Amino acid sequence: MNLPNKLTVARLALTAVFVVLMEVVFTNHLSWALLVFSVASITDLLDGQIARKYNLVTNFGKLMDPLADKILMTAALIILAMMNHLAEWIVIAILAREFFVTGIRQIASQQGVVLAAEKLGKHKLVWQVITVIYFLLFAASAEPMFSWVAPLFTWKPLSPGIFGNFCIVVMTALTILSGISYFWKNRKLFSDA
């Protein structure tokens, strides 16, 4: 197994650790969950870059990298909804988009077409990560490890009511727009399906 694939598998393992840390309450559990989520997100950035740069792209990576991304993000978004930071309908809309895009990729694959990730979809993922990290940092700021950042959230522009909602709106809009864009650019696949 090459390095990019090991990073992808590590992201899956880190997702499990993240979920456990969010659920098992102990001192600084949210802080540790934030750190684990951040490391998992970095592996997402690194695995693709390394695979492309060193010609280490594999079928395993093509399948598992986006799946590992979806599993990590699904876990994080569901947890944020459980913490009342995200409305359930937003999580449902994001998950629906992910299933929809996966379906389009499956149709393309059956027709021998490989669909690359779109720039708008990459921006969507960046804003998902920013949103999750923001709310995890907000939650972790009540714990000793990250208490030093708590004053930042009292500054009105960085408050959950302003910056948090801004992140949610941008993330949700990019999710919906990227799903529509993905469908529109690949609509010819449906005439052949």
pLDDT of residue 193: 54
Given a cut of 90, whether residue 162 has pLDDT beyond it is: yes
Q: Name all domains of the chain by residue range, CATH numbers in brackets.
A: 3-192 (1.20.120.1760)
Region 17-45: mean pLDDT is 97
**What is the DSSP track for the chain?**
--HHHHHHHHHHHHHHHHHHHHHS--TTHHHHHHHHHHHHHHHHHHHHHHHHHTT---HHHHHHHHHHHHHHHHHHHHHHHHTTSS-HHHHHHHHHHHHHHHHHHHHHHHTT-PPPPPHHHHHHHHHHHHHHHHHHHHHHTTSGGGGGGGGGGGSGGGSIIIIIHHHHHHHHHHHHHHHHHHHHHTTHHHHH-
Q: What is the pLDDT of residues 116-149, one digit of tens each?
A: 778 898 899 999 999 999 999 999 999 999 999 9
Q: What is the pLDDT of residues 84-125, one digit of tens each?
A: 999 999 999 999 999 999 888 888 888 888 777 788 988 999
Q: What is the pLDDT of residues 48-98, one digit of tens each?
A: 899 999 999 888 888 888 889 999 999 999 999 999 999 999 999 999 999
Given a cut of 80, whether residue 192 has pLDDT beyond it is: no
What percent of the chain shows pLDDT beyond 90?
71
